[in-house]
């Protein structure tokens, strides 16, 4: 599905943020990337859909190296990668439905998009998804009238509207309270499992990652230092990822 090969990134020459990352993401399941802030988690996820230019290495997505694409070919490849953001990235003054349909913008012609002439299938899918994410009846509500949890539900629905082959999420619950965080992770997990979409998600909350991920990738200083199931993420491993130990108990 997705394979990163010797992926490296330096924003400043000589100061690598990602160092030779090798990572293979299977066709299903939730992979959670954990690690201290500043360790390159966002950079990693943003390299995958080329919001950040990798310095070197390959990003094989369905056998095609995204690192070598540009223009229309990159735009087309990106349609198959949905993204969920920490701060939701909704268009605040548009309605929930308009935000959802923006997930289809990569597919309809600019002319159809300008006239907001989305195919009936897209509208049907959008209403169905609103129901799935628990926002039936919110179609015409403006995004700026929603709570954080509701916004993230829209963010997830919008990403799924793309009919993605892969979902990326960059700390999707960091702006939410603990209860809402669990609900949003549950929703992400449910949607991913029912639609068989693999998820690569950065998380700052280790317990939440343990609870929802099938696989945990621990990063430290731009390198992968752990890759395995939640069950073997021991205190010793956490110490190697985050350093110190006073915070552990
Ligand atoms: N656009 C950028 N320009 C320069 N440095 C950046 C940029 N984005 C991130 N960095 C630096 O790269 C490092 C990794 O950042 P980031 O990927 O955001 O880590 P994380 O998501 O794990 O907190 C940090 O030192 C950060 O300051
Ligand atoms: Mg980050």
| Interval between CA 59 and ligand 2 midpoint (Å) | 19
Does residue 160 register a pLDDT over 70? Answer: yes
Q: Among candidates 171, 197, 229, 146, which has minimal Cα distance to 45? A: 171
Q: Is residue 209 part of a domain?
A: yes
Q: Is 37 in the pocket of ligand 1 (CB under 6 A)?
A: yes
Provide the residue range defining the domain that includes 14.
Answer: 1-76+200-249
Find out whether the beta carbon of 11 lies less than 6 Å from any atom of ligand 1: yes
Q: Is 69 part of any domain?
A: yes
Quick check: is 104 in a domain? no
- Calculate what percentage of the chain has a pLDDT beyond 70: 99
Which whole number is the average pLDDT over 133-143? 96
In a domain, residue 62? The reply is: yes
Could you tell me if residue 49 is inside a domain? yes
> For 196-239, how does the pLDDT look when each residue is reduced to its tens digit (9 = 90+)?
999 999 999 999 999 999 999 999 999 999 999 999 999 999 99
pTM, rounded to two decimals? 0.94
Lowest mean pLDDT of 169-173, 197-201, 245-249, name the range.
Answer: 245-249
| CATH label of the domain that carries residue 212 | 3.40.50.300
Q: Say if 51 falls within a structural domain.
A: yes
User: Are the C-beta atoms of 173 and 185 separated by less than 8 Å?
Assistant: yes
Q: Is 27 helix (H, G, I), strand (E, B) or coil?
A: coil
Please enumerate in sequence order all residues whose Cβ is within 8 A of that of 15, keeping only pairs 6 or more positions apart, or say none.
none
* Ligand 1 touching residue 17 (CB < 6 A): yes
Task: Determine the Cα–Cα distance for residues 11 and 14; give it in Å rounded to an integer.
Answer: 9
- Number of structural domains the chain divides into: 1
């Amino acid at each position: 599905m997705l394979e990163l090969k010797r992926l490296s990134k330096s924003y400043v020459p000589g100061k690598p943020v990602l160092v030779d990352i090798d990572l293979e993401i299977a066709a299903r399941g939730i992979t959670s990337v954990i690690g201290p802030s500043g360790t390159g988690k966002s950079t990693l996820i943003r390299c995958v859909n080329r919001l950040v230019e990798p310095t070197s290495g390959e990003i094989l997505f369905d056998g095609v190296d995204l690192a070598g694409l540009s223009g229309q070919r990159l735009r087309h490849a990106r349609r198959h990668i949905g993204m969920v953001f920490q701060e939701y990235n909704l268009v605040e003054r548009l309605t929930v439905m308009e935000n959802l349909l923006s997930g289809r913008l990569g597919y309809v012609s600019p002319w159809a998009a300008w006239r907001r002439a989305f195919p009936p299938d897209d509208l049907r899918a959008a209403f169905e998804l609103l129901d799935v994410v628990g926002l039936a009846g919110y179609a015409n509500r403006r995004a700026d009238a929603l709570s954080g949890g509701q916004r993230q539900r829209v963010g997830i629905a919008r990403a799924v509207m793309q009919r993605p082959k892969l979902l990326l999420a960059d700390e999707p619950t960091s702006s939410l309270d603990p209860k809402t965080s669990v609900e949003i992770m549950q929703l992400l997990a449910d949607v991913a499992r029912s639609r068989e979409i693999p998820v690569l998600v950065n998380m700052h909350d280790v317990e939440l990652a343990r609870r929802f991920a099938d696989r945990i990738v621990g990063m430290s200083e731009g390198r992968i230092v752990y890759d395995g199931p939640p069950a073997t993420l021991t205190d010793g491993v956490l110490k190697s990822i985050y350093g110190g130990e006073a915070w552990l108990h």
